[in-house]
């Protein structure tokens, strides 16, 4: 009897200890959910770093209208359950006025019902188009829709008069969304998908899929995935002597991919945000100034190259900053002001939100780049 | 009959704690965490019946949990079936499936059984990922409705708390009843020596499969509850890691103890939340605590905590004596 009471008492002490928290005032609290660990850490880590960096900068300049920003970051580990718990904690315990993230489409979809119910603006950093389609009152996003990247590739194929393609997509959230967009847009551009194959996120050899593609009528290969899979595919394509042009997704538009694929990366064409080609953009480009500042800052802080994943978080903070500068302080006012964002030159593109568009970017958010001499070059 | 009264009193005091907790924590995020404690308790209870009592390991529990969630999710979203019927369907399908799969799988023992159940869990996980048209693939299935009774919808944390914990307490009550019955004794006999149990007239083969099916069915109900409270599911929540986490809950809580399942689930759900204060180092601290607990509390929390108190008290009284 005494035993069980003691056990129960200890359990309840454990639980209540977790509820103690400290509140602070005179700051504006922004919550952030990023998968800093787990499989999507290649997204979450640069996102967290960029968000912290830009918040520090804003505070160093005296904050927004004299109020400092406070960023509360929780790691979700790429797990939807954890993301929901952390979102609840941000809203109910930390009492944030807005949330940026999560990093992946799956987690974003899981957090959306929470944000909608509690009435807290959510600026997702994931790419899936279903996050803002249909439009949800409290939900915005900064990452470019996968459909825009697909359109960019298909336009290029049309120009090259290629009509039969093979697609090879990874079986995770990113690949599934890309596959869906590739299949649904192909007909519109008069393109026929002759091979539709997938590979697992942890596969280390894709020669069987590529052999199948080699035996087909495909005139080009589009691979949709994030590192390291596409690097393996690039190598396998070279090893098997396949001469077809190879297109990849924006999921590999970082220097890491060129490092991994080495010589095999030569000649691969990728739709990407402008950030990786910032220095070769014409000076008339509206984004150029911010892009170069972002890349340089990131280099100074973290000794690594700023990529467009980190850019999603940079954009999210800047969007919120804009809304708060226009006088919004409560979650509801911030939401209203976010929707009025117009012509904000960010890292991912130029954002213009409206009541019917919470994604905010056009096709021009992507440029096509080709890998030449282990560096990026713009495809005209 | 004294021990029976004691059991009832223990259980009732737990019911009381569950009932009054929301009054103390109000409607905060903690209530949300406690909902997950409830769901995880059902899951570790289900595994404990199999692992703790019958001594049969399963590394595929997350698969059954996921199957329950997906069957419930798909039936309610794409086929517009009532959530309660969907839950019933999920439990029935998964129990039946586990029953038939159980016969060949449970012939295996030890590491081989672990491998087979591991494989089963991974197959189920792959299906969630690849059957994109039905499951929504890796980016998940959204828009799952909340449960409701006669127009009363369980759509807030507080309502869901009571809903989930009703299920949890019923599951605990039934399990307590089961393990103190003839079947419970038979299970423990199998655990100690399967051959001896069979000699004593226990139909070990069928009983193992039955408890395996029961364990899967309970997990499926937990999955269904999870789907209807979260309103969104994705395969990442039902991977191999989660199966391992469930085994950890059972072992940390205490093998062959119903209350141990509750303690293990509560600790492993609440601890990561408390450790968020350590920021990037939380995983290291978490791992360290688990290692220390298994080293110094080999019988699990359910034995370890009272022992800790007894030893502290013993030390205190000794001190008093020496002082005097």
Same domain, A45 and A66: yes
Interface with B, mutate which of A2, A4, A32, A128 (most B CBs under 10 A): A4
Nearest CB partner across the interface for B305, out of A7, A84, A172: A7
Partner residues linked to A123 by β-bridges: A100, A140
- Domain CATH code at residue A177: 3.40.50.2300
Nearest chain B Cα to A126, which residue? B139
- A35 near A42, Cβ under 8 Å? no
| Alpha-carbon gap: A94 to the closest alpha carbon of chain B (Å) | 10
A138 belongs to a structural domain = yes
**Which of helix, strand or coil describes residue B152?**
strand
Residues in A closer than 8 angstroms to B14, CB to CB, are 8
Instruction: Please state at what angle helix B204-230 crosses helix B83-105, rounded to 10 degrees.
Output: 150
**Which of helix, strand or coil describes residue B264?**
helix
Residues 6+ apart with CB under 8 A from B284: none
Distance CA(B172)–CA(B176), nearest Å, equals 6
| Alpha-carbon gap: A370 to the closest alpha carbon of chain B (Å) | 29
Residues in B closer than 8 angstroms to A171, CB to CB, are 129-130, 137-138
Of A242, A272, A302, the one marking the end of a domain is A272
Same domain, A347 and A245: no
Distance CA(A39)–CA(A33), nearest Å, equals 15
Same domain, A113 and A153: no
Q: Is the CB of A85 less than 8 angstroms away from the CB of B29?
A: yes
Interface with B, mutate which of A2, A5, A8, A129 (most B CBs under 10 A): A8
Q: How many residues are present in chain A?
A: 380
Phi, psi at B63, each rounded to 5°: -65, -45
Interface of A with B in 287-306 (CB under 8 A): none
B90 belongs to a structural domain = yes
- A319 near A338, Cβ under 8 Å? yes
Partner residues linked to A165 by β-bridges: A193, A220
- Domain CATH code at residue B153: 1.10.3470
B322 belongs to a structural domain = no
Interface with A, mutate which of B236, B249, B270, B285 (most A CBs under 10 A): B236
Nearest chain A Cα to B142, which residue? A109
Same domain, A151 and A133: no
A253 belongs to a structural domain = yes
A279 belongs to a structural domain = no
A240 belongs to a structural domain = yes
Residue range B135-168, pLDDT digits in tens: 988 878 888 999 999 889 998 888 999 999 999 9
For chain A, the domain total comes to 2
Nearest chain A Cα to B18, which residue? A12
Same domain, A303 and A319: yes
A371 belongs to a structural domain = no
A104 belongs to a structural domain = yes
Residue range A172-227, pLDDT digits in tens: 878 888 998 999 999 999 999 999 999 988 889 999 999 999 999 999 999 999 88
Residue B230 DSSP code = H
Q: Where are the alpha helices (DSSP H) in A119-228?
A: 146-159, 173-186, 207-214
Nearest chain A Cα to B140, which residue? A106
| Alpha-carbon gap: B307 to the closest alpha carbon of chain A (Å) | 9
Q: Is the CB of B236 less than 8 angstroms away from the CB of A91?
A: no
- B168 near B41, Cβ under 8 Å? yes
| Alpha-carbon gap: B30 to the closest alpha carbon of chain A (Å) | 7
A184 part of contact set with chain B, CB < 8 Å: no
B86 belongs to a structural domain = yes
Same domain, A201 and A151: yes
Nearest chain A Cα to B301, which residue? A7
- pLDDT tens digit at each of 324 positions of chain B: 457 888 899 999 999 999 999 888 865 788 888 999 999 999 999 999 999 999 999 999 999 999 999 999 999 999 999 999 999 999 999 999 999 999 999 999 989 999 999 999 999 999 998 888 899 888 788 889 999 998 899 988 889 999 999 999 999 999 999 999 999 999 999 999 999 999 989 999 999 999 999 999 999 999 999 999 988 998 888 999 899 999 999 999 999 999 999 999 999 999 888 887 776 777 788 888 888 888 888 888 888 888 888 888 888 888 777 665
A25 part of contact set with chain B, CB < 8 Å: no
Distance CA(B9)–CA(B308), nearest Å, equals 23
A14 belongs to a structural domain = no
B76 belongs to a structural domain = yes
Please state whether beta strands B141-142 and B232-233 pair in parallel, antiparallel, or not at all (unpaired).
Answer: antiparallel
A243 belongs to a structural domain = yes
Same domain, A160 and A264: yes
pLDDT at A128: 83
Q: What is the mean pLDDT of chain A?
A: 89
For chain B, the domain total comes to 1
Residue owning tokens 């997938």:
A198
Q: Which helix (H) or strand (E) holds B149?
A: strand B148-149
B306 belongs to a structural domain = no
Q: Which domain does A197 fall in, by range?
A: 147-272
């Amino acid at each position: 009897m005494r035993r069980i009471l003691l056990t129960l008492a200890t359990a309840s002490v454990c639980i209540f200890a977790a509820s103690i928290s400290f509140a602070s005032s005179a700051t504006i609290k922004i919550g952030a959910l990023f998968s800093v660990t787990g499989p999507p850490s290649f997204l979450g880590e640069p996102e967290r770093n960029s968000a912290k960096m830009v918040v520090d900068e804003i505070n160093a300049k005296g904050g927004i209208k004299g109020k400092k920003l406070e960023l509360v970051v929780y790691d979700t580990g790429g797990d939807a359950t954890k993301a929901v718990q952390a979102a609840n904690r941000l809203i109910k315990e930390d009492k944030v006025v807005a949330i940026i993230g999560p990093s992946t489409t799956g987690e974003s979809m899981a957090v959306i019902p929470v944000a909608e119910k509690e009435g807290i603006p959510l600026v997702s950093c994931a790419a899936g188009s279903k996050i803002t389609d249909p439009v949800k009152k409290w939900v915005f996003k900064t990452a470019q829709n996968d459909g825009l990247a697909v359109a960019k590739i298909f336009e290029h194929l049309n120009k090259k008069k290629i009509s039969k393609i093979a697609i090879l997509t990874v079986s995770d959230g990113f690949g599934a969304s890309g596959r869906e967009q590739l299949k649904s847009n192909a007909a519109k551009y008069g393109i026929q998908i002759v091979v539709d194959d997938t590979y697992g996120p942890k596969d280390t050899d894709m020669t069987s899929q590529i052999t199948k593609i080699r035996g087909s009528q495909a005139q080009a290969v589009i691979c949709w995935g994030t590192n390291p899979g596409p690097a393996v595919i690039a190598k396998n394509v070279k090893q098997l002597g396949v001469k077809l042009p190879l297109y990849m997704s924006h999921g590999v538009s970082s220097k890491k991919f060129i490092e991994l694929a080495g010589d095999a990366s030569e000649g691969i064409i990728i739709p990407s945000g402008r950030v990786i080609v910032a220095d070769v953009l014409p000076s008339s480009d509206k984004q150029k100034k911010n892009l170069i500042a972002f890349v340089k800052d990131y280099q100074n802080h973290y000794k690594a190259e700023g990529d467009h994943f980190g850019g999603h978080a940079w954009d999210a903070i800047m969007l919120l900053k804009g809304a708060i500068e226009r006088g919004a302080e409560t979650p509801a006012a911030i939401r209203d002001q976010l929707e009025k964002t117009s012509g904000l030159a960010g890292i991912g593109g130029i954002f213009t939100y409206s009541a019917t568009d919470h994604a905010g970017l056009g096709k021009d958010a992507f440029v096509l780049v080709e890998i030449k001499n282990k560096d990026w070059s713009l495809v005209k | 009959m004294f021990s029976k009264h004691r059991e009832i009193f223990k259980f009732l005091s737990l019911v009381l704690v569950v009932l009054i907790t929301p009054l103390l924590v109000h409607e905060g995020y903690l209530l949300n965490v406690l909902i997950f404690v409830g769901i995880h308790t059902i899951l570790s209870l289900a595994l404990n019946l199999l692992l703790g009592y019958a001594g049969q390991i399963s590394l595929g529990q997350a698969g059954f949990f996921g199957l329950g969630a997906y069957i419930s999710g798909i039936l309610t979203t794409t086929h517009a079936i009532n959530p309660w019927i969907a839950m019933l369907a999920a439990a029935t399908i998964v129990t039946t499936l586990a029953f038939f799969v159980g016969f060949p799988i449970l012939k295996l023992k030890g590491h081989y059984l672990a491998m087979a159940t591991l494989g089963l869990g991974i197959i189920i996980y792959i299906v969630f990922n690849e059957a994109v048209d039905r499951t929504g693939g890796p980016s998940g299935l959204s828009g799952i409705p909340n449960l409701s009774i006669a127009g009363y919808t369980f759509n807030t944390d507080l309502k869901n708390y009571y809903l989930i914990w009703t299920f949890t307490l019923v599951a605990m009550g039934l399990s307590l009843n089961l393990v103190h019955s003839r079947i419970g004794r038979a299970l423990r006999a199998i655990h100690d020596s399967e051959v001896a149990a069979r000699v004593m007239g226990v139909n070990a083969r069928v009983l193992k499969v039955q408890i395996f099916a029961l364990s899967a069915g309970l997990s499926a109900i937990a999955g269904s509850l999870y789907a209807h409270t979260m309103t969104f599911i994705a395969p990442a929540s039902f991977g191999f890691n989660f199966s391992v986490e469930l085994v950890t809950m059972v072992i940390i809580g205490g093998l062959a103890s119903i209350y141990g399942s509750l303690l293990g689930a509560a600790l492993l759900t609440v601890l990561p939340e408390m450790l968020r204060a350590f920021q990037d180092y939380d995983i290291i601290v978490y791992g360290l605590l688990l290692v220390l607990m298994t080293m110094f509390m080999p019988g699990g929390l359910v034995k370890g905590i009272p022992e800790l108190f007894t030893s502290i008290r013993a030390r205190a009284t000794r001190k008093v004596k020496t002082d005097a």
